[in-house]
Amino acid sequence: MRPDRRFFLAGMAALTACAPEPTARAGGLIHPFDAAALRARKGRGAPASATCQVAPPPVRDLAVPQFYVDPPIYSRVDPERLAARNAAIQPLHTLVRTVTENADRWASSNPPAGRFAACAAASLDGAACAESLLGTVDVQGSYERKWMWCGLALAHLKLETAPEYDASAQARVGAWFARAFHVLRVHYDRPPYGMPSDRLNNHMTWAGLTAMAIALAAQDRKAWVWGLSRMERTLAQIDADGYLPLELMRRSKAWHYHIFAVAPLAMGAVLARPNGVDLADARFHRLARRTFGAYADPAAFVARTGSAQDIWGARPDVGWLELYAGAFGHVEALPLLQGRRPQRHVWLGGDLTLWHARDA
């Protein structure tokens, strides 16, 4: 039996074993992921031999080692701890990667290849039925699940019009996301402690984006308002020169964490726009210009922090530039994307080039 067929049948069994949830209440929130419009612009035939990727079983509990060794600055990485962290999150990362890839494959296939939607829907419904990520979770695990919830919620939005993703499954997944939001907000509703506090820095920004994505998936107005409030708190921290003071405290990782903060802000602005909210205001553009300028020369960050800038990985992340160029018209960012497409970021929902690039 083909792997995608085997997985599909397993997913269908999970659906029947999971108690139905009431239909999510209508909140009138709009999201920007129009699969039919994308298919008309960029659709391509899916090879008959292409199979949907098999996702691993859902993860309920999450214990993940922390890998920075210099609190409270958190700029020095222990390679062994990082390897242990990567191993601990691998099943979860694979789940989110396969769901986002299958969602993108369905949305970009013309005619629609329903097998990809069926696999992604079965994975999401299986995670909801298992109450994935709602078990025992440590500090680093709470960070990881926040990012993963974000990616899964964005993938769900892309799949909403797929016939293979029926209303009952969508209601169960929406209810799971609603429970996830109530768990997520607990940490960030508490008063901040220490500096740089994870209740005010890029973690808060990602929590805001996750809440916005969940709000759209579950039609939850409270989650929407809460998510927007976290975006506003981030925007309020941007200084006159376009820096985030809490991210400057990361010293050698300051530029990296400016990239890491502007990415969820940019996606949040994309989600907010159809709902009449403009997050891409002058403050956002100050931060974006400052962060973008450092790709050519990070000297300004070196001067502000007194530290040479240490990027994460072999090259600095450029995924957010698909949004900066495609959604906000900053075509000066396009040269940095040459030779690095497609840009995929599972926490931001998958293929950023596919959905947001206007020149590709």
- Identify the CA nearest to 273 among candidates 2, 17, 20, 32: 32
Rounded Cα distance, 180 and 72, in Å: 28
Provide the whole-model pTM. 0.93
Inside any domain, residue 34 = no
Which ranges constitute the DSSP H helices of 133-166? 139-159
How far is it, in rounded angstroms, from Cα 213 to Cα 155? 10
Query: What's the one-letter identity of residue 38?
Result: L
**Total Cβ atoms within 10 A of residue 16:** 7
Identify which of 140, 133, 143, 136 has the alpha carbon closest to the alpha carbon of residue 67: 140
- Report the distance separating Cα 48 and Cα 336, nearest Å: 34
| Burial of 87 from C-beta contacts in 10 A (0-12 / 13-18 / 19+) | exposed
Backbone φ and ψ of 55, nearest 5° = -90, 150
Distance CA 29, CA 225 (A): 11
Domain membership flag for residue 267: yes
Question: Between the CA of residue 277 and those of 26, 196, 232, 310, what are the distances in Å?
Answer: 19, 28, 11, 35
Classify residue 56: in a domain, yes or no. no
Closest by alpha carbon to 257, among 296, 209, 202?
Answer: 202
Distances (CA, A) of 155 to 99, 117, 165, 300, 307: 7, 10, 12, 37, 38
C-alpha distances out from residue 189 to 119, 226, 229, 265, Å: 36, 10, 11, 19
Residue 336 lies in a domain: yes
Full domain range(s) for residue 97: 3-11+62-356
Q: Is residue 45 part of a domain?
A: no
* Predicted local confidence at residue 27, as pLDDT: 60
Predicted pLDDT at 166 = 97
Q: Is residue 231 part of a domain?
A: yes
Model confidence pLDDT, tens digit, residues 321-356:
999 999 999 999 999 999 999 999 999 999 999 999
pLDDT at position 14, please?
Answer: 43
How many residues are listed for the chain in this entry? 360
Domain-located, residue 308: yes
Q: Give the closest residue to 287 by CA, choosing from 338, 246, 346.
A: 246
Q: Which residues of the chain have pLDDT under 50?
A: 1-17, 20-25
Hey, what are 343's tokens?
């840009």
Task: Answer yes or no: are the C-beta atoms of 204 and 188 closer than 8 Å.
Answer: yes
Any domain includes 57: no
Contacts of 251 by beta carbon, 8 Å cutoff, 6+ apart: 73, 75, 305, 306, 307
Q: What count of Cα atoms within 13 Å lies in the side-chain half-sphere of residue 289?
A: 12
Whichever domain contains 276, its CATH number is 1.50.10.100
What confidence score (pLDDT) does residue 50 get? 82
For the chain, what is the domain count? 1
Q: How many CB atoms lie within 10 A of CB 201?
A: 24
